A = this chain, B = another copy of it.
Amino acid sequence: MQSVGSETDLTSVESIEQELTLLVRRAQKVHLRGGPTEQVVERAAYGILAWLHDTGPLRSSELAAHFHLDASTISRQVAALEQAGLVTREPDADDRRALRLRLTEHGRGVLTTTRAERRGVVRELLRSWSPEDLARFASLLAAFNAGLDEHLTGDPHTAEGGQR
């Protein structure tokens, strides 16, 4: 706890690591189910729905790449989504092995509702923040995510934390 400080702004890094650990653990509770329709959108499904909505029809493999998840995980979640009538799996003309996933009208509606609820909670949580802090937090978060994405994409574990 004394000889570790060496490279960067250690104190902030330590703090960030700590807060992130807690955040990831606790944020999962802000699950947001129900809605007017009592539709339940699983936490995982929400992300898929949102990404599909924001970027148009995609293949499973593209979703897997985006979330850095195994194809099988996506496959099951998409199956559930289709089961619930939120997305359709239409065969891809270019490649008959592939499927294009597309939001249904219903899916779009459910996403809109769920998203509004989640944003509501976030807005409520950040009620007292200044616009500058909000903007800063948004952009730092985005930057962090971008770095994380890169980290997960590029190297499996080349990072070399340090000690060894």
Among listed A85-93, A96-104, A133-141, interface-contacting one: A133-141
How many chain copies does the complex carry?
Answer: 2
| A141 and B19 form a contact (CB under 8 A) | yes
How many A residues have CB within 8 A of the partner chain? 72
Q: Which residues of B contact A24 (CB under 8 A)?
A: 23-24, 27-28
| B116 and A13 form a contact (CB under 8 A) | no
Proximity string of chain A (136-154) to chain B, C-beta cutoff 8 Å, 1 when within and 0 when not: 1110111111011101100
Q: Which residues of B contact A137 (CB under 8 A)?
A: 12, 16, 140, 144
A sample of 28 inter-chain contacts (CB < 8 A) reads A4-B119, A8-B123, A8-B134, A10-B119, A12-B131, A12-B137, A13-B119, A13-B122, A13-B123, A15-B138, A22-B47, A23-B23, A23-B24, A23-B145, A23-B148, A24-B27, A25-B44, A25-B47, A30-B152, A36-B163, A119-B161, A121-B161, A123-B162, A124-B159, A124-B160, A125-B147, A125-B159, A133-B140
